């Protein structure tokens, strides 16, 4: 087998050195009754070309050749081939967690650069070296707020990504946290009155998202002020990081939980992605996840190490800030390379292109009779429209024209029955936008 | 380092000394030596209540965290703020400037059941013998 | 320098600062295609939300500078592509490159998790086949591919156990965990709302069944067992352990981190395990990438299937695959979207390459570990003498007589061209050296490792200072971790800026 670097002769030599006749003897501690007598019933073995063929056949059974207007937490963005060139270097791809700092300086410095970029993007003082994804980062941010305040109620806006809220509830149930939802306004943002009436002295975190699930931007300052008067922390989630190229950073928030998928990570049917928690220096000892810190070696040379490890599971065990061990290091590296390639101007330009395309798409859609814009808050690259007929029906028609239509909001928000969440990024061409609008127009003209 | 004879000690390596109705608590030289370089100290605020035998804070080195157990009950009057900026003081002067908290004791009689300097020194000598055998 | 050192010598020392230190206004590395719709007036559209001028402090460098920067950084890393990582319980095996190729295919890397299921049959077939393979390998009845890593798999598994007990009317209070367990185990139990009770290992590194019988009360929800244990020793009486637990209504959770000793040879499901997780980035070859991503699928017996996280993969009429979001008794979601699909693709590619012959990998892994054990016995102290499986645990007892400990030996091993083994774990072995070579190492690499360890043991006697101040051949010397923890410096700041400001 090509992955096993031993000849039969070498195996014999090694068995002899150990003092056994066959490798079977090395499994003697497994009771006879439980040792398998036959090989496992698995497909294969496949040669390399056959492996490739299998997956190419699967790839052909998906959505190649379709235009897409889906966002809802996962975004298509342009990226450079150089990101992959760097990622595929064996010293990055096949290296271990940088616990041995002297032979991991490449990884550690890259993490330090990642942490810096995340702070610059979010306006926060410190950021960790990534969590599994935005949804678990948001949950961990709430648990962090609980540790910091000692309180057990959580208020989360309904305009936060539905699956993020689900994950929070799964974790909260077992941590003794109670989670309540705050309604959204006609503008599409978290309802400050709803927040006011729900707040008491027992809330650890108020959770919002900006741009939120509807694509709308949340004004954070008034929410932060309100939360603080009641001793609660403001956690804000970000699912579309490219928005920060053109939006003010959420510096007023106490904790930011960001999904880094938009920074050069392929949608890949849902993962792997990379979540980030960014917050204030004074909270750093309650922050979960790895942290790379700058230091010096015995000769005074600058170097980097994993630090504040006493927060983590391998030391604190039961009292750890989280059970997380593996993070998303390679994904964070991809984001680092990607953002470095885009640079200050490239990210700004990309964000402005998103803005322009989304504005254009909305304008075109509104020329269709009966199509209405739903929320009034400013948006980035996603917005909600109401259609005169079922979104599911319209999407079915769009599919026939090889267009994957917008997200059906009714599936997550029962009160938004005829509403669609349309996402347009810099990767969507004008021609595709126009084709989509024409297809929607036709679909709505169909006899009932 | 000598163990001050006016202090009392616990088997968890805390020391306590009372002056003018206020008790000062710290960890011993043996403890700081076992921990290695201290990087962070977590202490309760003034007004917090200590209960004998219960954890009231922690001392961190790079690779380990050690809980600190209250040798007696009382109300915290002051925590050593200097340790926030210079945790290394715990290593260099554990019985003096590296004190952790000052406490108003609720039951000063509790101190009589603690070890005196000679008993504590014998205790750690035994521990060291076990470790090297 | 020692003639005995046969591998890589001096470490590359190309000086390379932080990317921010290369930055200069006006440099560009990536151009976007021109805008084909009218430009938007950002200030007008966004009002108070607008940030003009781009992110403050963001790097501005050219394409070649980016490529050189990261290429140079990469040369400071050790990697599997360069040589062995003898890290215990990490299973640092070869990361097949074809896995990288297929994970990047257009039609797989490009798919959106919310796209219509009829346009995702290729992805769903991959998930279904992987599920079938993992069930065959583990001998279990149901599986979820959702957890993003081993620790998240553990949490999912414990939550499934909790759901089971809650259904019976009493969630119970405690989870039993051996003192040799990985730190994620107790951390996970706490997050799941349980208290932790430690079980001491016997002198032979096994669970003491008599003690266990006493500790399992009606309050115990489960035992979290790693098998083989972190000592690399198979838990011989695991079937009895399962019986003891089941008799009191408690469940057996198996931490599958050490599956590399079992795949194709025995199946946890046959041993009485109720629920377990797998680490795809260990046993199933997906790359560590400097610390992740991974994936931690959870496999269960039938009775726990109703509680699996949503969505669950189902097969409908005509063989059409779909994701079912409506499961009445589910524990909910543990993460957004379906799972680390890109990692799952790589794991399936690995399994397909081996097929039924995957047992061969297990045999070679156990062969390598025992070969190393045999040849280092006597050179290093062996605290537990029961047969080892895929990893062996020594202690530094012999070397400590000369003032040299496991950390020192590990650092000196770097000079010999290897990554250190796992130091100071498991906690029940003071001064542990935990060594797992994996099946990816040739006899030559194993011999080089053995020779290096023997040489260091000699050095510990004759030149202990050389070992205690190692490594000597790396780009940086030992780094000051104390300073890093006392005054954490966690980001670059532009020179001249003292305080943190928002922009």
DSSP labels, A16-81: HHHT-SSGGGGGTTS-GGGS-SS---------HHHHHHHHHHHHTTS-TT-EE---TT-------H
Say if residues C83 and C418 touch (Cβ distance below 8 Å). yes
Asked if A310's CB is within 8 angstroms of B60's CB, the reply is: yes
- Chain A residues 183-242 with a CB less than 8 Å from chain B: none
Count how many domains chain A has.
2
B39 contacts in chain C (CB < 8 Å) = 482, 485-486
Q: Is residue A135 very low, low, confident or very high in pLDDT (cuts 50, 70, 90)?
A: very high
Within 8 A of A319 by CB-CB distance, chain B residues are 65
Torsion on CA atoms C42, C46, C48, C54, rounded to nearest 10: -40
Identify which of C79, C110, C492 has the shortest CB distance to residue A90.
C79
CB-nearest to A120 from C58, C294, C370 is C58
A44, C351: Cβ pair inside 8 Å? yes
Strands (E), A351-433: 372-373, 382-386, 403-404, 407-408, 419-423
Q: Give the residue on C whose Cα is nearest the Cα of B41.
A: C486
Domain that holds residue B112: 8-125
B84 located within any domain = yes
pLDDT at A324: 64
Please report, for the domain that includes residue A101, its CATH number.
Answer: 3.40.640.10
- Whole-angstrom distance, CA of residue A316 vs CA of residue C108: 39
Minimum Cα–Cα distance from B40: chain C residue: C486
Q: Are B64 and A315 inside 8 Å of each other by CB?
A: yes
Instruction: Judge whether C482 is closer than 8 Å to chain B, CB to CB.
Output: yes
Q: What is the pTM of this model?
A: 0.94
Question: Which CATH number covers residue B39?
Answer: 2.40.50.100
- Identify whether A1 is part of a domain: no
Q: What's the pLDDT band for B4 if we cut at 50, 70, 90?
A: very high
Mean pLDDT of A16-23: 96
- Number of domains chain B is built from: 1
Distance CA A372, CA C369 (A): 68
Segment A279-316, tens digit of pLDDT: 999 999 899 888 999 999 988 999 999 998 777 666 66
B120 within domain boundaries: yes
For residue B56, give the 3-state DSSP assignment: strand
Are the CB atoms for A374 and A216 separated by under 8 Å? no
Instruction: Enumerate the β-bridge partners of residue A254.
Output: none
Q: Does A310 touch chain B (CB under 8 A)?
A: yes
> Residue A73's domain spans which residues?
67-78+344-445
Domain presence at residue B23? yes
The four Cα atoms B53, B54, B57, B62 give a dihedral, to 10 degrees, of 70
Give the pLDDT band (50/70/90) at residue C495.
Answer: confident
- The enclosing H or E element of A233 equals strand A233-238
- Of the candidates A258, A249, A250, A203, the one whose C-alpha atom is nearest the C-alpha of residue A227 is A203
Q: Find the closest chain A residue to C471 by CA distance.
A: A102
pLDDT in tens, C130-168: 999 999 999 999 999 999 998 899 999 999 999 999 999
**What are the residues whose beta carbons fall under 8 Å from the beta carbon of B69, sequence distance 6 or more?**
B10, B12, B14, B53, B54, B55, B56
For B7-16, what is the mean pLDDT? 93
A223 and A351 inside one domain: no
Given A338, A359, A392, which residue is the final one in a domain?
A338
ipTM: 0.96
Helix axes C443-462, A8-18, angle to 10 degrees: 40
Angstrom distance (rounded) from CA C358 to CA C263 = 7
Residue A61 belongs to some domain of the structure: no
CATH number of the domain where residue A352 is located: 3.90.1150.10
Selecting from A285, A315, A319 the residue whose C-beta is nearest the C-beta of B63 gives A315
* Cβ <8 Å between B65 and A285: no
CB spacing of A51 vs C98 below 8 angstroms:
yes
Question: Residue A48 domain-assigned?
Answer: no
Integer Cα distance of A380 and A377 in angstroms: 10
- Which residues in chain C have Cβ-Cβ distances shorter than 8 Å to A324? 149, 151-152
**Whether A303 contacts chain C with CB within 8 A:** yes
Residues whose CB is less than 8 angstroms from the CB of residue C469 and which lie 6 or more positions away in sequence, other chains included: C478
Single residue among A303, A338, A373 that ends a domain in this structure: A338
C486 to B39: CB separation less than 8 angstroms, yes or no: yes
Name the residue of chain B whose CA is nearest to C481's CA: B62
Residue C401: closest CA among chain B residues belongs to which residue?
Answer: B132
Of the candidate CATH numbers 3.30.1130.10, 3.90.1150.10, 3.30.70.1400, 3.40.50.2300, the domain formed by C358-484 belongs to 3.90.1150.10
What the block records as the tokens of A196 is: 């006011």
Q: Is some CB atom of chain C closer than 8 A to the CB atom of B37?
A: yes
CA dist B87 and B37 (Å) reads: 9
The pLDDT value recorded for residue B132 is 59
Asked if A228 and A328 sit in the same domain, the reply is yes
Would you give the DSSP letter of residue B17?
Answer: E
Task: Give CA–CA dist C124/A402, Å, rounded.
Answer: 20
Asked if A130 is an interface residue toward chain C (Cβ–Cβ < 8 A), one would say yes
Q: What is the structure's pLDDT at A320?
A: 64
pLDDT category at C52 given cuts 50, 70, 90 is: confident
**Is there a contact between A133 and A238 (Cβ–Cβ < 8 Å)?**
no
Which band of pLDDT confidence, cut at 50, 70 and 90, is reported for residue A245?
A: very high
**B87-111 pLDDT tens trace:** 999 999 999 999 999 999 998 888 8
Nearest to C186 among A245, A318, A426 (CB): A318
What's CA A165's distance to the chain center, in Å? Answer: 14
Which tens digit of pLDDT belongs to each residue from C176-189? 999 888 777 888 89
Q: Give the closest-approach CA distance of C254 to chain A in angstroms.
A: 16
Proportion of chain A above pLDDT 90, given as a percent: 90
pLDDT band at B63 (very low <50, low <70, confident <90, very high): confident
- 3-class secondary-structure state, position C33: coil
Quickly state the pLDDT bin for C1 (edges 50, 70, 90): very low
Please give, rounded to a whole number of angstroms, the shortest distance from the CA of B40 to a CA of chain C.
6
The fraction of chain B above a pLDDT of 90, given in percent, is: 71
In degrees and rounded to multiples of 5, residue C177 shows phi and psi of -135, 130
Judging by DSSP bridges, how do beta strands A178-182 and A153-157 pair with one another? parallel
B131, part of any domain = no
Distance from CA of C396 to the nearest CA of A (A): 19
| pLDDT (0 to 100) of residue C14 | 66
Average pLDDT over residues C409-427: 91
Query: For residue C486, which residues of chain B lie inside 8 Å, CB to CB?
Result: 39-40, 87-88
DSSP A313-340: HHHHGGG-S-------HHHHHHHHHHHH
CATH architecture of the region C101-356: 3-Layer(aba) Sandwich (3.40)
A275 and A393 in a single domain? The answer is no
């Amino acid at each position: 087998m090509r992955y096993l670097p031993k000849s039969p002769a070498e195996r014999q030599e090694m068995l002899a050195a150990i003092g056994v006749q066959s490798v079977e003897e090395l499994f003697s501690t497994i009771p006879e009754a439980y040792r398998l007598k036959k090989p496992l019933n698995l497909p294969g073995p496949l040669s390399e070309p056959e492996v490739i063929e299998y997956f190419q056949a699967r790839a052909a059974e998906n959505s190649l050749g379709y235009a897409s207007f889906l966002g809802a937490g996962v975004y298509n963005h342009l990226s450079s081939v150089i990101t992959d060139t760097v990622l595929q270097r064996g010293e990055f791809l096949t290296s271990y967690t940088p616990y041995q700092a002297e032979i991991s300086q490449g990884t550690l410095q890259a993490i330090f650069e990642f942490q810096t970029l995340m702070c610059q993007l979010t306006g926060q003082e410190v950021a960790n070296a990534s969590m599994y994804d935005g949804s678990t980062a948001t949950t961990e941010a709430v648990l962090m707020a609980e540790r910091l305040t000692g309180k057990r109620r959580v208020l989360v806006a309904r305009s936060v990504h539905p699956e993020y809220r689900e994950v929070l509830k799964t974790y909260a149930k077992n941590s003794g946290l109670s989670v309540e939802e705050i309604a959204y306004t006609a503008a599409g943002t978290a309802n400050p009155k709803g927040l006011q009436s729900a707040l008491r002295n027992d809330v650890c975190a108020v959770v919002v998202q900006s741009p939120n699930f509807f694509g709308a931007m949340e004004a954070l300052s008034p929410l932060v002020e309100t939360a603080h008067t009641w001793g609660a922390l403001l956690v804000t989630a970000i699912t579309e990081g490219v928005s920060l190229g053109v939006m003010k950073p959420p510096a007023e928030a106490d904790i930011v939980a960001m999904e880094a998928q938009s920074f050069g990570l392929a949608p890949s049917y849902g993962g792997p992605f990379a979540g980030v928690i960014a917050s204030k220096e004074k909270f750093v000892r309650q922050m979960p996840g790895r942290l790379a810190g700058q230091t010096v070696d015995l000769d005074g040379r600058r170097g980097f190490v994993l630090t504040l490890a006493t927060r983590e599971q391998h030391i604190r065990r039961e009292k750890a800030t989280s059970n997380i061990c593996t993070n998303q290091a390679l994904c964070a590296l991809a984001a680092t390379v990607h953002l470095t390639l885009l640079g200050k101007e490239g990210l700004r330009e990309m964000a402005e292109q998103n803005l322009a395309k989304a504005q254009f798409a909305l304008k075109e859609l509104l020329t269709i009779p009966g199509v209405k814009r739903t929320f009034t808050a400013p948006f980035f690259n996603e917005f909600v429209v109401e259609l005169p007929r079922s979104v599911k029906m319209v999407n079915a028609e769009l599919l026939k024209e090889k267009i994957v239509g917008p997200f059906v909001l009714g599936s997550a928000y029962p009160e938004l029955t005829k509403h669609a969440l349309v996402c347009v990024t810099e990767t969507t061409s004008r021609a595709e936008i126009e084709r989509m609008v024409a297809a929607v127009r036709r679909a709505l003209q169909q006899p009932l | 380092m000598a163990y001050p004879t006016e202090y009392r000690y616990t088997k968890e390596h805390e020391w306590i000394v009372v002056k003018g109705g206020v008790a000062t608590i710290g960890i011993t030289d043996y403890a700081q030596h076992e921990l290695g370089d201290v990087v962070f100290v977590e202490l309760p605020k003034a007004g917090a209540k200590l209960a004998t035998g219960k954890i009231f804070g922690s001392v961190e080195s790079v690779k380990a965290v050690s809980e600190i157990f209250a040798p007696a009950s009382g109300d915290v009057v002051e925590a050593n703020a200097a340790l926030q900026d210079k945790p290394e003081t715990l290593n260099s002067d554990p019985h003096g400037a590296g004190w952790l908290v000052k406490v108003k004791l609720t039951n000063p009689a509790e101190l009589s059941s603690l070890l005196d300097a000679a008993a504590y020194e014998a205790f750690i000598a035994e521990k060291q013998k076990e470790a090297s055998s | 320098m020692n003639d005995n050192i046969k591998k890589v010598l001096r470490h590359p020392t190309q000086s390379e600062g932080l990317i921010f230190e290369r930055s200069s206004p006006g440099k560009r590395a990536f151009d976007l295609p021109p805008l084909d719709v009218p430009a938007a007036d950002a200030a007008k559209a966004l009002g108070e939300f607008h940030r003009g001028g781009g992110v403050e402090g963001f790097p501005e460098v050219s394409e070649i500078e980016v490529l050189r920067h990261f290429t140079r950084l990469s040369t400071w890393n050790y990697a599997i592509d360069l040589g062995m990582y003898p890290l215990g319980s990490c299973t640092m095996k070869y990361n097949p490159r074809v896995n990288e190729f297929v994970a990047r295919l257009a039609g797989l890397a490009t798919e959106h998790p919310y796209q219509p299921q009829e346009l995702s049959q290729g992805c769903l077939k991959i998930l279904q086949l992987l599920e079938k393979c993992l069930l065959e390998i583990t001998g279990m009845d149901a599986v979820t591919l959702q957890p993003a890593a081993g620790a998240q798999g553990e949490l999912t598994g414990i939550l499934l156990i909790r759901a089971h007990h809650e259904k019976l009317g009493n969630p119970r209070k405690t989870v039993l965990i051996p003192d040799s367990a990985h730190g994620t185990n107790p951390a996970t139990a706490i997050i799941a709302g349980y208290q932790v009770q430690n079980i001491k290992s016997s002198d032979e590194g096994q669970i003491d069944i008599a003690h266990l019988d006493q500790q399992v009360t009606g309050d115990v929800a489960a035992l979290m067992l790693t098998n083989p244990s972190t000592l690399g020793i198979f838990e011989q009486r695991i079937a009895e352990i399962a019986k003891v637990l089941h008799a009191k209504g408690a469940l057996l959770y198996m931490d599958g981190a050490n599956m590399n000793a079992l795949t194709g040879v025995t199946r946890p499901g046959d041993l009485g395990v109720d629920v377990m997780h797998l680490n795809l980035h260990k046993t199933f070859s997906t790359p560590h990438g400097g610390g992740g991503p991974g994936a931690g699928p959870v496999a269960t017996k039938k009775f726990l299937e109703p509680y699996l996280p949503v969505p669950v993969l189902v097969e409908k009429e005509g063989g059409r695959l779909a994701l079912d979001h409506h499961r009445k008794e589910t524990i909910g979601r543990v993460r957004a979207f379906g799972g680390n699909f890109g990692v799952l693709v790589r794991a399936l590619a690995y399994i397909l390459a081996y097929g039924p012959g995957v047992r061969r990998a297990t045999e070679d892994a156990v062969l390598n570990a025992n070969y190393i054990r045999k040849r280092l016995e006597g050179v290093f102290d062996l605290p537990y003498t029961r047969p080892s499986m895929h990893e062996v645990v020594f202690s530094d007892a012999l070397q400590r007589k000369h003032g040299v400990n496991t950390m020192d030996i590990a650092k000196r091993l770097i000079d010999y061209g290897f990554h250190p083994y796992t130091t100071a774990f498991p906690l029940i072995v003071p001064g542990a050296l935990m060594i797992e070579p994996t099946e990816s190492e040739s006899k030559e690499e194993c011999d080089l490792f053995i020779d290096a360890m023997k040489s260091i043991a000699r050095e510990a006697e004759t030149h202990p200072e050389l070992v205690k101040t190692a490594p000597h051949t790396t780009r940086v010397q030992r780094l000051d971790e104390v300073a890093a923890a006392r005054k954490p410096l966690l980001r670059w700041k532009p020179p001249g800026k003292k305080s943190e400001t928002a922009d």
